[in-house]
Structure 1
């Protein structure tokens, strides 16, 4: 070979190597420049990687509002390939960047493909925003055609898998935008952008398209399974703290109790009837007229003694939270202070008019109410200062932060030109709930640790679980379709890593039902909604147009009253299970309300079911979402001459026990379950240990005896948890756990030594141990082999036939 030829080949080879190495290794990954695009890959852990894409020469500073994890060095390898790609490899993940096209591919450590960007699928389109340069940002991906994805927040369309649709994601009353998806392949993507965003998917293309962003910024989370994805989300965006024990009890509310005497009277009535109740909610207008909207004081003369108001509720062994908004009337002190500091946003919000009637008339005077700039940390401090002095100091137990989207009426494009502390309203629109809820949580935590923060909120954004927030589904209309749609809406919401969610039991607007609560058709809907609500993280009855208290339904002996009482009592028996599962949410990033794909990812029949779910890791719930006993919305009589039935799919790979009868079924089949008005299909997975508490009138009335129910057929394990129940001492180790283990082949139950301690820990607990047997039928709780044990904290082994 001639020297000249050899030299030419060397130069070609050298230039190829140079092309392959057109990147810079960084402390956390790599940075590459491809044409006009700057691409940076940053490992947050061996399973979580951040992708940032920006225009060359464009200076930006992006501090995530959702992600609070700090970058830290991990072990990874970097390798070049002859096809001009570079690959970053951690213990769990391979991330490859094509140095010619800029396409990024994600694989597991074995090289199995997980997700790939589309070729030419990165778009940063120049756009002016408040006279500053920015971009419309869009990233396209290619998913497998048979892949399922879940998440995106709350959209009440009745869909479980989020494939094959287009969603416009902007916070609204009944729509909560959380731009996180997770796949049945065991990965998740968090699109870290706060502007209104379009999500689109078809078999060929999936993308996020946001109206504004300085950069494309997303996180790839490889969890290997759904729990792992949620764990990765929370490692990035924060863990969920414990709620007070009492919050898992039953809540009564309506729009609205018009005086403190009426609110107190509701609690008294429940106590007189011996119906369990723990939470009562005071809705709006306790402050007076709309010019004093959200004044955070008791300007309404019907609430003349708020200190006594709270004291009487507490004396009845109940708790009270109160409605607070993200907006202020023009005659409030808050408005005056915030307006002087230019901390109010200028767009039309609720209430638009000054009168307290619905609907308002166009000729009615404007209210002048404005939303505050929750993006401003100083504004959040001012907000809390008024809230603390006017309400929290009175002893209220938590917050109903209403309209945290916030309400945005008569939407105009110029509304998004409002300048917030963090830029235009357009740039940060969807993060408003995260900011306002976070402000209340952080400031209350700084004020006291004696009372756990509890926030009920109408909207949410990625990371909001760290702020003790329990979201609800907004002002839904009372009908069967909306009840059905709540199930998949809630399940996709929790798939984004935010575990606590609920809906107004009965639906908010009951205007489709003449006579409201007196209408048997509405009563049937209400009973079924309450049965479903028994198996959501917060069991809360609420609505307008008609009252919802149990005594409004009728009396004991009436079908409607008895069915509601039965499920409220069931909720209280489930409290030990619920509280222990909530500890798993806090300590192990678990999820309480579980879509079936979380536990049965290999069962293709289960993945896209939109009407069943697991409640904790043992209980399968199949709500009844159609009418069987009334006909039409004007039916005056409920007819029970025939019993309705509901089809239930039992996932494969396990056996199932009917909760009500003890009858055992093999998984992987659809069965027909009769559903009289007081029965909702509930099944318990074989190989489960279920702790059930005593019958009580409020959550903290008494601890025991605790029924330990064993569902045989497989080995089982359960961690029973307890603590002081309403402070943050658990964060410093003040809690106790008891490990239960069932050896199915030996019929042996081992109760481990109690670990940990806390103030008020009972010296002994009475356990009634029950092994459920097939085809046992004896009422609401099937009896079987029983063993009674006074547990003293020491390890104990029992053989149970």
Structure 2
């Protein structure tokens, strides 16, 4: 009989495992609420858990019962036990780790300033903490939304945005009071539950000094890692609040192709469903920009706009696009929905009335996914834009944020039901929400102040591991007081916003439903269009670098985009430059956020200690100082660590998800040494969490005389990994090589692009070495020797570009019948002259410098208008300024 029971139990267990195959494979982050017993110190009514050398959990319970269930914030307490000691002296418990020394007076009750203290050990930023101490040096976190904010000021209230508390503080410590957070149960799909003790204390002390990166890594271990978005999410997202039709969206996609602009994600706002029905709950009726009432919630296609949704979505997929639809679920499931009968039957509703949403009812949410949303996913919707804007807390669990909870539910359902990598797009719900990826910052106001604020806002969010904010690039809407004749896009502001977007976690344009807010790049004047396409192309070129940084964020807790004080915590200046940030490990970005004057915008950038390569000018600067430089419309203030090697895509890559990782550009910058790693995986599976990925080590050194670069064999594997890899090595702002060796074999210079040769690009002053495809298991070594007395080309590319622009301006303002002087025409063509005769580089550069000196005087002697002469002379003079 016992054997039969055991067999039946085994069959039941097997059936359960079979019913949840994807759940078992994909459910991550794993929830291990109970800590290793060796990390726990319990004495009567108190329990201390040493989670890491820098994090100690402190619990007090009136009945001596403690919480082992994972909480909203802390989901994995089962960590490797760090070294620590426990002693009791004179009735006081002492716990010492490598970083912290805790003392608690036993039997003294609840934690308070009189019975508990924690001292720092070995930190330059020392502290002596007691419960109740005020954390005055907190470096902030993030906020739920930027709705109707101009900069950091809310239009309707005039109040400054509150970013709350982050994990980092200049005082070197932070306390997370987890006593009131909700817990997860132990069901297959972990669900929320209340704590049973309302008087208990559950505190997490984080003590780290100025070791900001280490504490972020520690927090990621116990609170869950920043999940990687699918690779396609790092491409360009097109979004607009507009009642697009099937035909209009097809035309839009074809225009992206026609104009050569990459695109990976198409966002379809709420008009995909019918919006002419009022919400069943009149509190949540919305009016659009035209004053029309709008039904926020909808799950049935508007067939007047999309006659055959499945065929439309299939066509989008044939164009290698991913699709997300906007959801406003607050109104529940109204009776006019296509799937209402089946949903009502599953919910046991028979009165034909709308079924209001109950976010914490597992039956309701499961039926919503399985009956209402699953058919849309089956038609081809890849992920959801979840836009909750209504009541803050779950009605049946007051205190539980609906935003936080719905983010969890939507994200984990996708993990459990789909082999594709989970992705949602939503608003910030609070600490712990970093586990559910891409944020939607809401309806920001179109203004220079908003652009100026978003770099700080985005980088600071990394202090709570919320590393993937997606903004409405270009701003969402005009302020109410914007005059009617000014309700159109400022091209310059939009270009600068797009430049920030390209150097931010997610590049997504969006705007409100106003006829004047058309952000298609081809609708802008030629100079603006060129700048827009250029910055989108750069985003796609940088995708391997960005994707590698995303993996590093998953592993380390240090987000792709973060403040400078992470790397320079002991320098006061690093805390003062809120508009600057690190983008990955090797790029410092200082976006232009003010209008140009006389064709340029002046930007002051603090360069931290070290050597920095100016991506625009091509020179290497010593850091530890502030530099002020000017930028034309197509230039972005980006400084790269000298000597860095940045993995990039070739120009042929226009879709990120379907790139095969077999062709890569390695751009090695001048001025130093580098060690980096390239990360690759399948791009859209959860396998990256379980060992399905590869790293490739890349090392190099470049100075005025030599450049060396080595690529190691890849380490690891993943489904679909290419057997061979083809590399192009680029050395920007380099003089002409004397010799190029690849794996011990000499390469010769060629005028055309072919493997096994190298080229010299005169316009870019760049050496390109095209290495034939080779087995990815084999190492690659490249050595370049330059002349013993190389030509100094630092800053030359900048002077070439500005000279060409000045000559072009002069041609359009030349009012003399005489031709331009020969020196003027030749000065604008140095790149072409170098292409024709690269071996004459020293002579050509010397002649260019001489011409540049003479140009103002030659024009001054011409018959040109005096104002033209003066302006041209000023343009040439400005080229020589730092």
TM-score tier by shorter-chain length is 0.7 to 0.9
Higher alpha-carbon deviation: 608-617 or 642-651: 642-651
The answer to whether the Cα contact below 8 Å between 1:176 and 1:459 also exists between their aligned partners in 2 is no
Unpaired stretches in structure 2, ≥5 consecutive residues: 1-36, 183-196, 280-294, 737-759, 786-882
**Mapped partners of 1:97, 1:758: distance in 2:** 50
User: Pick from 619, 631, 639: which aligns with 1:683?
Assistant: 639
Give the aligned partner of residue 449 of structure 2.
481
In the TM superposition, 1:315-394 aligns within 5 A as 315-329=318-332, 330-331=334-335, 372-394=357-379
In the TM superposition, 1:77-226 aligns within 5 A as 77-81=85-89, 85-98=92-105, 101-110=113-122, 114-118=126-130, 140-143=132-135, 147=137, 149-151=139-141, 153=143, 180-184=166-170, 187-192=173-178, 214-222=199-207, 225-226=211-212
Give the aligned partner of residue 851 of structure 2.
none
Give the aligned partner of residue 261 of structure 1.
247
User: Pick from 609, 627, 648: which aligns with 2:595?
Assistant: 627
**Mapped partners of 1:98, 1:781: distance in 2:** 72
Pairing 1:604–2:585 present:
no
TM-score normalised per structure 2:
0.68
Secondary structure of the residue that 2:544 maps to in structure 1?
Answer: helix
Give the aligned partner of residue 753 of structure 1.
713
The answer to whether the Cα contact below 8 Å between 2:734 and 2:766 also exists between their aligned partners in 1 is no
Change (3 A) 1:447 1:603: same
**Mapped partners of 1:32, 1:759: distance in 2:** 50
Change (3 A) 1:718 1:113: closer
Could you tell me how far 1:310 is from its partner in structure 2?
Answer: 0.8
User: Pick from 439, 460, 465: which aligns with 1:492?
Assistant: 460
User: Pick from 724, 727, 731: which aligns with 1:771?
Assistant: 731
Residue deviations 1:468-491, cap 9 Å, x none?
x20022111111112222122212
The answer to whether the Cα contact below 8 Å between 2:586 and 2:644 also exists between their aligned partners in 1 is yes
Give the aligned partner of residue 7 of structure 1.
none
Give the aligned partner of residue 628 of structure 2.
672
**Mapped partners of 1:749, 1:154: distance in 2:** 45
The answer to whether the Cα contact below 8 Å between 1:523 and 1:560 also exists between their aligned partners in 2 is yes
Secondary structure of the residue that 1:453 maps to in structure 2?
Answer: coil
TM-score normalised per structure 1:
0.75
**Mapped partners of 2:454, 2:724: distance in 1:** 41
Could you tell me how far 1:28 is from its partner in structure 2?
Answer: 4.0
Secondary structure of the residue that 1:715 maps to in structure 2?
Answer: strand
The answer to whether the Cα contact below 8 Å between 1:153 and 1:179 also exists between their aligned partners in 2 is no
Change (3 A) 1:174 1:259: farther
Give the aligned partner of residue 432 of structure 2.
463
Change (3 A) 1:59 1:43: closer
Could you tell me how far 1:115 is from its partner in structure 2?
Answer: 4.6
Secondary structure of the residue that 1:42 maps to in structure 2?
Answer: strand
Give the aligned partner of residue 23 of structure 2.
none
Change (3 A) 1:762 1:619: same
Change (3 A) 1:600 1:190: same
Could you tell me how far 1:463 is from its partner in structure 2?
Answer: 2.3
**Mapped partners of 2:515, 2:119: distance in 1:** 54
Change (3 A) 1:702 1:338: closer
The answer to whether the Cα contact below 8 Å between 2:145 and 2:428 also exists between their aligned partners in 1 is no
Pairing 1:650–2:607 present:
yes
Could you tell me how far 1:31 is from its partner in structure 2?
Answer: 4.8
Secondary structure of the residue that 2:585 maps to in structure 1?
Answer: coil
**Mapped partners of 1:31, 1:489: distance in 2:** 41
**Mapped partners of 1:611, 1:771: distance in 2:** 30
In the TM superposition, 1:545-556 aligns within 5 A as 545-546=514-515, 550-551=519-520, 554=523
Give the aligned partner of residue 679 of structure 2.
721
Could you tell me how far 1:597 is from its partner in structure 2?
Answer: 1.1
**Mapped partners of 1:342, 1:246: distance in 2:** 37
Secondary structure of the residue that 2:497 maps to in structure 1?
Answer: helix
Pairing 1:698–2:655 present:
yes
The answer to whether the Cα contact below 8 Å between 1:689 and 1:708 also exists between their aligned partners in 2 is yes
**Mapped partners of 2:680, 2:140: distance in 1:** 33
Secondary structure of the residue that 2:404 maps to in structure 1?
Answer: helix
Change (3 A) 1:724 1:515: farther
Larger radius of gyration: 2
**Mapped partners of 1:229, 1:59: distance in 2:** 25
Pairing 1:579–2:579 present:
no
Could you tell me how far 1:750 is from its partner in structure 2?
Answer: 1.6
Secondary structure of the residue that 1:229 maps to in structure 2?
Answer: helix
The answer to whether the Cα contact below 8 Å between 1:513 and 1:519 also exists between their aligned partners in 2 is no
Give the aligned partner of residue 594 of structure 1.
562
Q: Which has the higher helix share?
A: 2
Residue deviations 1:289-321, cap 9 Å, x none?
344753323145322311112111111222211
Could you tell me how far 1:43 is from its partner in structure 2?
Answer: 1.9
Higher alpha-carbon deviation: 262-271 or 783-792: 783-792
Give the aligned partner of residue 390 of structure 2.
407
Pairing 1:76–2:71 present:
no
The answer to whether the Cα contact below 8 Å between 2:647 and 2:664 also exists between their aligned partners in 1 is yes
Higher alpha-carbon deviation: 327-336 or 666-675: 327-336
Change (3 A) 1:142 1:724: same
Residue deviations 1:53-96, cap 9 Å, x none?
455799999751221113465543112456x6432113443222
The answer to whether the Cα contact below 8 Å between 1:662 and 1:775 also exists between their aligned partners in 2 is no
Could you tell me how far 1:743 is from its partner in structure 2?
Answer: 4.1
The answer to whether the Cα contact below 8 Å between 1:281 and 1:320 also exists between their aligned partners in 2 is yes
Give the aligned partner of residue 797 of structure 1.
781
Give the aligned partner of residue 22 of structure 1.
none
Residue deviations 1:500-540, cap 9 Å, x none?
112110111135655789846x2222111111111111100
User: Pick from 214, 236, 261: which aligns with 1:228?
Assistant: 214
Higher alpha-carbon deviation: 292-301 or 691-700: 292-301
Could you tell me how far 1:49 is from its partner in structure 2?
Answer: 1.4
Secondary structure of the residue that 1:150 maps to in structure 2?
Answer: coil
Unpaired stretches in structure 1, ≥5 consecutive residues: 1-25, 122-139, 197-211, 345-367, 409-414, 630-640
**Mapped partners of 2:88, 2:565: distance in 1:** 37
**Mapped partners of 1:711, 1:179: distance in 2:** 38
Residue deviations 1:329-358, cap 9 Å, x none?
5436688999999999xxxxxxxxxxxxxx
User: Pick from 470, 492, 495: which aligns with 1:527?
Assistant: 495
The answer to whether the Cα contact below 8 Å between 2:87 and 2:94 also exists between their aligned partners in 1 is yes
Q: How many residues align?
A: 670
Secondary structure of the residue that 2:119 maps to in structure 1?
Answer: strand
Q: Aligned-residue CA RMSD in angstroms?
A: 3.9
The answer to whether the Cα contact below 8 Å between 1:186 and 1:229 also exists between their aligned partners in 2 is no
**Mapped partners of 1:308, 1:392: distance in 2:** 13
Pairing 1:66–2:34 present:
no
Secondary structure of the residue that 2:411 maps to in structure 1?
Answer: helix
**Mapped partners of 1:390, 1:249: distance in 2:** 27
Give the aligned partner of residue 193 of structure 2.
none
**Mapped partners of 1:59, 1:755: distance in 2:** 43
In the TM superposition, 1:731-750 aligns within 5 A as 731-743=689-701, 747-750=707-710
Residue deviations 1:95-153, cap 9 Å, x none?
223556545333344387755445xx5xxxxxxxxxxxxxxxxxx2245x7x4533255
